[in-house]
Each structure stands twice: as structure tokens, then as C-alpha cells.
Amino acid sequence: MLTAAALAVFGGGTWQPGPGTLVARARRRSMLVFETVGDAVAAARRASVAGAAVGLAVGELSTGGDWWAGPPLEVADALALRAGAGRVLATATVRALAPRNSDRWVPAGLV
């Protein structure tokens, strides 16, 4: 098991994911895993600018080489489904661990 940030992206145009590992792709949906929350937040920003709906979560993940599993992937996926085009929804844990910069975090309430 390892602790990592999970990013789910639906739709949008072309964007650069950065140092993330692509763990799933189907139709207009991509799932990526990042070693740092900062890298995941930066990728989420780029994806949302490209018009994608994005979900971000962090937590324990398991991997077996060509497969990945764990609650962060499921949570990120559910958040992306609810985000809407050009928006990012992230868990409170992501916000707490994200680097302090110019990103503006607004509570979305219970999702």
C-alpha cells in the first residue's frame, strides 16, 4: 500500500498531465495517480482549464503492477462525475495537504 493522490478527469480538451501515472482510460474518462498532492492539484488545474470535469482525492492505494485499487480512485471518480465541465471538486484532505499558493478553495458542501 502507498499513500497517493488520485485524479479523475471527464471530458475536456487536450492537457498535459505532468508526472502522474495513468491507471485507467475509457472513452472520455482518465484516472491518474500522483506521488504528491501538489502535482495532482497542478494537473487538475490544467485539465479544468481544458474544460474537463475533475475530481481529486488522497489516501491509501494498492497496486499490482498493471492494476490500481483503493478508495481515493473511487472518490475522485465520483467527484468528477459531479464537478461539471471546467470545475474541480476535491476532498477536504486534498485541500489540507495542497501547497499554499494562489489556488482559491471554496467549500462545496456535502457532495
Beta bridge partners of 2: 61
To the nearest whole number, what is the mean pLDDT of the chain?
92
The length of the chain in residues reads: 111
Q: Does the pLDDT of residue 98 top 80, yes or no?
A: yes
Burial code (b: 16+ CB inside 10 Å, e: under 16) for 81-107 equals: eebeeebbbbbebbbebbeeeeeeeee
pLDDT tens profile 23-59: 999 888 999 999 999 999 999 999 999 999 999 999 9
What is the pTM for the complete model shown? 0.91
